[in-house]
Amino acid sequence: MPERELAAYAARPERSHGRRHREPPPRGRSEYQRDRDRIIHSTAFRRLEYKTQVFINHEGDLFRTRLTHSLEVAQIARSVARSLDLNEDLVEAIALAHDLGHTPFGHAGQDALNTCMKPHGGFEHNLQSLRVVDVLEQRYAAFDGLNLTFEAREGILKHCSLRNARALGDVGERFTKNRRPSLEAQLANLADEIAYNNHDVDDGLRSGLLVPEQFAQVTIVARHMKAVLRQYPKLTGRRLVHETVRRMIDTLVTDLVRASADSIRRHSPASIEEARLAPPLITFSSRVREESQELKRFLREHLYRHYRVVRMSAKARRVVADLFGAFLADPRLLPPEFQARAQDNTPRAIADYIAGMTDRYAILEHRRLFAIEET
Ligand code: MG
């Protein structure tokens, strides 16, 4: 097969804004492929296997973890990138790295750490993902972090407060100048949304916290479930759910490709720099956007606020808050590596330590510090 041509507005490794520390060019792979490979080999990436989104890791083997979520995001983002002639390697690197800075216990853990860090400069998980690849990974002799390209780092930093953006230099500039990131970064962001909405439907039903009948009120799910049942009237259970979710993902991906191709055509950016100056060009159609918002609202109300999820979240918040409080009261409880970091900034070193924990490690560490019979 002939090599696919990248669009004029795609990111090109040979025109990258480069890495923070100069390195010889890679052999046999592009700069963005090297970024992706470094992410896959990182410690933070392996930990994603034991970190969760909605369900806590020990609740079942079949729920999504942040690792499988990141792989789903990468798969969706790559197929859209291919259709739009964007850079597949860059979008894959961003997708695989986008959740590296997440705390244990999903949103609950993040909220808790955020609250603990309020008086100490705050905690933002996107910024933490950047911190992981810029500072916290320690694998290379010549530099801290993974020394990724500007384009991968820009994609990882999805959101950022203005105060932190100012302190970040080039990669924070777009927040202060109101510019967009590359189309690859915009795409990774929406692929994330497609992935979590759909797998939360799947996991919600699998866990029994949601039942199929509830979805009659959600347009996009109801529409596809009805179409499936028209074609396969006897289909029930898991296969009905999978067939419905499969079609929903297909609709969202197809719509994303079509609507984005339209808006790219209208603005016809001649380069990645022009795409950064344009309004967001990777987009759903307004109809599908509304349907996707409706699904999000439904999940918030019925899954994320389900009393069993709320109970787990409360427990998770308590674990994080207890750990933070214990370490802050006595930093000598920290492992030596983090004690050394704590010399400069104790709360930040504690936040780095806790954010790096997997669900099960945080539970174990809590037991070690608080259960009197443990050593
Ligand atoms: Mg995500």
Cα 206–chain centre separation: 22
Cα of 98 from ligand 1 centre, angstroms: 6
Cα of 87 from ligand 1 centre, angstroms: 20
The yes-or-no verdict on residue 41 having pLDDT over 90 is: yes
> Domain 3-9+20-310: which topology?
Hypothetical protein af1432 (1.10.3210)
- The first and second tokens of residue 212, run together, are 């199929």
The yes-or-no verdict on residue 2 having pLDDT over 80 is: no
Cα of 66 from ligand 1 centre, angstroms: 7
- The first and second tokens of residue 273, run together, are 């720099």
In Å, what is the CA distance from 81 to each residue of 2, 274, 279?
A: 17, 18, 18
Q: What is the pLDDT of residues 170-191, one digit of tens each?
A: 999 999 999 999 999 999 999 9
**% of residues, the chain, pLDDT over 70:** 96
Domain ranges of the chain: 3-9+20-310, 311-370
Cα of 321 from ligand 1 centre, angstroms: 23
Cα of 42 from ligand 1 centre, angstroms: 18
| φ, ψ dihedrals at 147, nearest 5° | 50, 55
Position with higher pLDDT, 307 vs 80:
80
Other C-beta atoms closer than 10 Å to the C-beta of 114 total: 16
Q: Tokens 């808790």 — which residue?
A: 112
Cα of 192 from ligand 1 centre, angstroms: 5
The yes-or-no verdict on residue 1 having pLDDT over 50 is: no
| φ, ψ dihedrals at 163, nearest 5° | -60, -45
The yes-or-no verdict on residue 24 having pLDDT over 60 is: yes
CB 279 within 8 A of CB 180: yes
Cα of 241 from ligand 1 centre, angstroms: 22
CB 135 within 8 A of CB 158: no
The yes-or-no verdict on residue 56 having pLDDT over 70 is: no
Other C-beta atoms closer than 10 Å to the C-beta of 22 total: 9
Q: How does the average pLDDT of the chain come out, rounded?
A: 92
Length of the chain, in residues: 375
Cα of 190 from ligand 1 centre, angstroms: 10
Cα of 193 from ligand 1 centre, angstroms: 7
CA distance 103 to 373: 27
Task: Give residue 271's pLDDT band: very low, low, confident or very high (50, 70, 90).
Answer: very high
Residue 218 has what pLDDT? 93
Pick the closest to residue 157 from 97, 105, 106 (CA basis): 97
Cα-only R_g, the chain: 22
Cα of 74 from ligand 1 centre, angstroms: 10
Cα of 133 from ligand 1 centre, angstroms: 16
Cα of 28 from ligand 1 centre, angstroms: 30
The yes-or-no verdict on residue 273 having pLDDT over 70 is: yes
Give the residue-averaged pLDDT of 269-289.
Answer: 96
Cα of 152 from ligand 1 centre, angstroms: 15
In Å, what is the CA distance from 356 to each residue of 79, 102, 310, 325, 362?
A: 30, 8, 23, 17, 9
The C-alpha angle with vertex 70 and arms to 68 and 74, in degrees rounded to 5, equals 115
CA distance 209 to 214: 11
Cα of 373 from ligand 1 centre, angstroms: 38
Cα of 34 from ligand 1 centre, angstroms: 22
The yes-or-no verdict on residue 62 having pLDDT over 70 is: no
